[in-house]
Amino acid sequence: MPATNTPTALRLNGAVLLQQLRDLGEIGIDPVAGGRTRVALTDAEKAGRDRLVVWMRELDLDVQIDRIGNIFGTLASAEKDASGEMLRPLMMGSHIDTVVNAGALDGCYGVLGGLAIVQAFREAGLVPSRPITVAAFTNEEGARFHPDMMGSLVHAGGLPLDEALDAIGTDGARLGDELVRIGYDGEMIPGTLVPHEYLELHIEQGPILEAEGLEIGVVENLQGISWQQITVQGNANHAGTTPTRLRHDAGYVAAAAVAELRRIALDSGTTLATVGTLQVEPGVINVIARKAVFTVDMRDPSEQRLAASEARFSAFLTTIAQDEGVRISTERLARFSPVVFDAALADVIEASASRLGLSSRRMTSGAGHDAQMIARIAPAAMIFVPSRGGISHNPREHTDDEQLVNGARVLLDVVAQRLGAPR
Amino acid sequence: MPATNTPTALRLNGAVLLQQLRDLGEIGIDPVAGGRTRVALTDAEKAGRDRLVVWMRELDLDVQIDRIGNIFGTLASAEKDASGEMLRPLMMGSHIDTVVNAGALDGCYGVLGGLAIVQAFREAGLVPSRPITVAAFTNEEGARFHPDMMGSLVHAGGLPLDEALDAIGTDGARLGDELVRIGYDGEMIPGTLVPHEYLELHIEQGPILEAEGLEIGVVENLQGISWQQITVQGNANHAGTTPTRLRHDAGYVAAAAVAELRRIALDSGTTLATVGTLQVEPGVINVIARKAVFTVDMRDPSEQRLAASEARFSAFLTTIAQDEGVRISTERLARFSPVVFDAALADVIEASASRLGLSSRRMTSGAGHDAQMIARIAPAAMIFVPSRGGISHNPREHTDDEQLVNGARVLLDVVAQRLGAPR
């Protein structure tokens, strides 16, 4: 065993954590496809919430639901502030909603990892020096309701509650109605529980840690994200009779844009650009596409470089629209600036990994996470563990049990450091 | 009136032709979308067939249906061959099936134009020197059953009858069963009526005649057509966490192929290349496409240049599959070599246009037509009239009445020349 100065009484119960990950992963599972589907505020996700609340109550946590359906389980501390109020909690969390046909780890690992920390305090009979809150935020995935990371965004004051409640899902349902339907329309005003600090344990969802043979990612920042939907309006015409120079081919323009995005990514060196959806109409083999609609996902850890990549792409669209005689419209779907996590917290995470003998590297989160929202109102940082093949949002999402336990051990060590000597 | 030496007794009745185009165009019409839908062997197309047969019988034609459902209406001649058999007919025709939400002219103009020629003989009380047959070929469009141009292909011996009858439609129906259901499973063996010559009157379905302000297209050849379906198999991965160099992005590869096809078209100068269908999977904004499927429509009047363009595209796919680490498979959907129409017939068409004072040009047909199949068994050529905006396969398909009548006048003049002095 590596040397450790985590308070000796605090020991991570890896078996419980792994069992809870498996148990939660069974809820909404499709035995044929192999993945589980707990899209936000569906019956399956309600079942996941119910299970989580049972586990929180088993740990004798104070469970609170806010009006956007975020779930908070708090382990009280003995200390109060000068006016006798509860101290701001150290918060850990993530989400338990999933995309369609998901893995078992995305989000759940951060929530259940938080519970594992509480479990360690309970098993050691220790009371933390400030409260510990485990949070599960509503609709992080955005698979049914936009925007994604909604619960943490509302919690951080970045989106008005009423606007979030009025979100209409892909199935036509209103989010507020669905919260009532599943019984998670809580009473607490969002943002009531402002954390003292926030930690999120998560699978990397990317290939870097595995590729470099490392055990822990110390996430010091998070890429800015730009989502756009581009609509190209051209002219449908016969594929066999329309000379190339007379074409207004929406499909070609979309393809040229995809190719340009690759050049933008390569030239920038840091921007990632992805076209994940692309439809052409009318979609007939011998008819030039009248219309093409595609989405652009651009990310960069630097706001300046992200904005530069967006600007270059926009200029490209303007030029090609003129050259090809098509109309191009752009709809912004989401835009988040890069987030720099708390440097002190990152240092502590790195020191904890080192103390536990685990290899680590500083890294940037490529994906969006609730931590980026909470970073608006409190010091925040994240801990990553490897994702096999970088695969996520897929039944093949996998992290070895040992790696999962190691990540939680780092989290426990960090919490122990931050809460000082527990009593 | 321009000078003409069309036998003076033969006069085209433009009013009947235009009225029949309107009447047939009403069958299967959608008053909301504005187009008509008479997909092959549906109830609506049966109604169109029934109307055509009534018109043929009104002209006292001998109506024959063959086993693939081709309809032939023949005006007999007085002359027989040496053995007392009917002479091979001068055949005119096209098709009356449509794509979904089509215009009223594509195909129908060639069939009803043929009837207009017979009408002129009837009205003049003239008997032609050899039989005149008006043909409507089954399933030219291929909107429901593959391959397209099926009836003329079977007639010309290019596709076994049984194979055609066993074609399964997009709705799961078997073509042979549908022929029986609508009562057009005729008894005549396909290919029985070998034409002496074949003429097809058609709208251009392209923009050239309109752009050049010309009235008649003398179609001297028809492009070769290559249809392929390309499937790219990459890896789905997270858009935010997968470095560009580690991506196997099926969508990007498809887009690069579309861009390459544009370069192939421009470099060749004669090849046309169109990607009309393109799907990516899973089709999620923040997931790199695992799979892309798209079709390629390539055409060229030269077999050598068409093959060269195909080869260049194939080499591109091989290279990019290696570069991007994806698997690419190619399925050939259709391949027709270019067709050179009968030079003597083209000369006669050009002379007739000139004699009637109509402006014309030699041109290549970009689209496929029944004439290309019949050209396998008889001298064949086509006459084009302008298409407004080059638009076809669309309710906005349009040719001015005067232009439609002019095209039929050219056809009548050609027939009069070919059949010698009618008696």
Nearest CB to A258 within list B251, B295, B368: B251
Q: Please, which residues have CB within 8 angstroms of residue B229's CB and are 6 or more apart in sequence? A: B293, B294, B295, B296, B330, B331, B333
Give the span between the Cα atoms of B149 and B140, in whole angstroms. Answer: 4
Tokens of B173: 């129906």
Give the span between the Cα atoms of B409 and B336, in whole angstroms. Answer: 31
pLDDT beyond 90 at A75: yes
Task: Please list every residue in chain A whose beta carbon sits closer than 8 Å to the beta carbon of residue B259.
Answer: 252, 255-256, 259
Determine, for residues B272 and A242 on separate chains, whether the beta-carbon distance falls below 8 Å.
Answer: yes
Tokens of A340: 């720099």
Residue range(s) in chain B whose domain bears CATH number 3.30.70.360: 224-336
Percent of chain B with pLDDT over 90: 86
Q: Which residues on adjacent β-strands are paired with residue A332? A: A228
Exposure of B348 by Cβ count < 10 A (0-12 exposed, 13-18 middle, 19+ buried)?
buried
Selected residue of A238, A287, A394 to mutate for chain B interface (largest B Cβ count, 10 A): A238
Residue among B237, B315, B77, B284 nearest A394 (CA): B237
Query: Among A26-35, A81-90, A168-177, B359-368, which stretch is predicted with the lowest mean pLDDT?
Result: A81-90
Does A146 carry a binding-site annotation? no
Given this model, what pLDDT does residue B81 score?
A: 80
Q: Which CATH architecture has domain B14-223+338-418?
A: 3-Layer(aba) Sandwich (3.40)
Distance from CA of B235 to the nearest CA of A (A): 9
pLDDT tens-place string over residues B219-243: 999 999 999 999 999 998 889 988 9
B 85-124 residues with CB below 8 A of A? 99
Selected residue of B260, B285, B363, B393 to mutate for chain A interface (largest A Cβ count, 10 A): B285
Count, in order, helices (H) and strands (E) of chain A: 12, 14
Query: Among A131-135, A348-352, B2-6, B254-258, which stretch is predicted with the lowest mean pLDDT?
Result: B2-6
Mean pLDDT value of segment A405-409:
98
Determine, for residues B241 and A284 on separate chains, whether the beta-carbon distance falls below 8 Å.
Answer: no
Determine, for residues A274 and B249 on separate chains, whether the beta-carbon distance falls below 8 Å.
Answer: yes
Between CA B415 and CA B421, with CA B418 as vertex, the angle to 5 degrees is 95
Given this model, what pLDDT does residue A8 score?
A: 65
Give the span between the Cα atoms of B232 and B283, in whole angstroms. Answer: 14
Tokens of B20: 């029949």
Give the span between the Cα atoms of A224 and A226, in whole angstroms. Answer: 7
Here the contacts of B362-365 (C-beta below 8 Å, separation 24 or greater) are B362/B218, B362/B220, B363/B204, B363/B208, B363/B209, B363/B217, B363/B218, B363/B219, B363/B220, B364/B219, B364/B220, B364/B221, B364/B222, B364/B223, B364/B301, B365/A240, B365/A241, B365/B202, B365/B219, B365/B221, B365/B222, B365/B223
Task: Please list every residue in chain A whose beta carbon sits closer than 8 Å to the beta carbon of residue B280.
Answer: 275-278
Residue A284, chain B, CB below 8 Å: the answer is yes
Here the contacts of B262-265 (C-beta below 8 Å, separation 24 or greater) are B262/A244, B262/A252, B262/A256, B264/B298, B264/B309, B264/B312, B264/B313, B265/A244, B265/B309
Q: Which fold has domain B224-336?
A: Alpha-Beta Plaits (3.30.70)
Residue among A167, A155, A143 nearest A70 (CA): A155
Q: Cα dist. A192→A3, A86, A157, A162 in Å?
A: 39, 12, 10, 16
pLDDT band at B286 (very low <50, low <70, confident <90, very high): confident
Given this model, what pLDDT does residue B423 score?
A: 37
The chain-wide mean pLDDT, for chain A, equals 94
| Helix A303-324 / helix A250-268 crossing angle, nearest 10 deg | 150
pLDDT tens-place string over residues B145-203: 989 999 999 999 999 999 999 999 989 999 999 999 999 999 999 999 999 999 999 99
pLDDT tens-place string over residues A198-256: 999 999 998 899 999 999 999 999 999 999 999 999 998 889 988 999 999 999 999 99
Task: Please list every residue in chain A whose beta carbon sits closer than 8 Å to the beta carbon of residue B208.
Answer: 241, 243
Residue B208, chain A, CB below 8 Å: the answer is yes
3-class secondary structure, B27: coil
Cβ-Cβ contacts under 8 Å between A and B: the total is 210
Determine, for residues B276 and A265 on separate chains, whether the beta-carbon distance falls below 8 Å.
Answer: no
Tokens 């996520």 locate to A392
Determine, for residues A275 and B289 on separate chains, whether the beta-carbon distance falls below 8 Å.
Answer: yes
Give the span between the Cα atoms of A370 and A361, in whole angstroms. Answer: 21
pLDDT band at A1 (very low <50, low <70, confident <90, very high): very low
pLDDT beyond 80 at A346: yes
Does A171 carry a binding-site annotation? no
Tokens of B274: 């169109």
A 124-153 residues with CB below 8 A of B? none
Distance from CA of A375 to the nearest CA of B (A): 19
pLDDT tens-place string over residues B91-126: 999 999 999 899 999 999 999 999 999 999 999 999
Given this model, what pLDDT does residue A7 score?
A: 58
Task: Please list every residue in chain B whose beta carbon sits closer than 8 Å to the beta carbon of residue A391.
Answer: 236-237
The chain-wide mean pLDDT, for chain B, equals 94
pLDDT band at A392 (very low <50, low <70, confident <90, very high): confident
Give the span between the Cα atoms of A396 and A154, in whole angstroms. Answer: 31
Does A196 carry a binding-site annotation? no
Distance from CA of B376 to the nearest CA of A (A): 21
Determine, for residues A238 and B392 on separate chains, whether the beta-carbon distance falls below 8 Å.
Answer: yes
Residue among B347, B330, B348, B341 nearest B375 (CA): B341
Task: Please list every residue in chain A whose beta carbon sits closer than 8 Å to the beta carbon of residue B263.
Answer: none
Selected residue of A286, A300, A332 to mutate for chain B interface (largest B Cβ count, 10 A): A286
pLDDT beyond 50 at B2: no
Closest chain A residue to B393, measured at CA: A238
pLDDT band at B392 (very low <50, low <70, confident <90, very high): confident
8 Å CB contact between B53 and B47: no
pLDDT beyond 90 at B387: yes
Alpha helices in B32-171 (DSSP H): 43-58, 108-124, 150-155, 161-165
Determine, for residues A272 and B244 on separate chains, whether the beta-carbon distance falls below 8 Å.
Answer: yes
Task: Please list every residue in chain A whose beta carbon sits closer than 8 Å to the beta carbon of residue B239.
Answer: 272, 274, 276, 297, 299
pLDDT beyond 90 at A284: no
3-class secondary structure, A388: helix
Tokens of B68: 């693939």
Percent of chain B with pLDDT over 70: 97
pLDDT beyond 70 at B6: no
* E strands, B337-403, in order: 339-340, 360-365, 380-385
Terminal CA-CA length for chain B:
25
ipTM computed for the complex: 0.78
Tokens of A420: 């000082």
Tokens 């990007």 locate to B252
Task: Please list every residue in chain B whose beta carbon sits closer than 8 Å to the beta carbon of residue A259.
Answer: 252, 255-256, 259
Distance from CA of A385 to the nearest CA of B (A): 13
pLDDT band at A3 (very low <50, low <70, confident <90, very high): very low
Given this model, what pLDDT does residue B4 score?
A: 45
Q: Cα dist. B338→B107, B305, B375 in Å?
A: 20, 10, 11
B 354-393 residues with CB below 8 A of A? 365-368, 390-393
Residue range(s) in chain B whose domain bears CATH number 3.40.630.10: 14-223+338-418
Does A248 carry a binding-site annotation? no
Pairing state of beta strands B272-274 and B291-300? antiparallel
Determine, for residues B262 and A241 on separate chains, whether the beta-carbon distance falls below 8 Å.
Answer: no
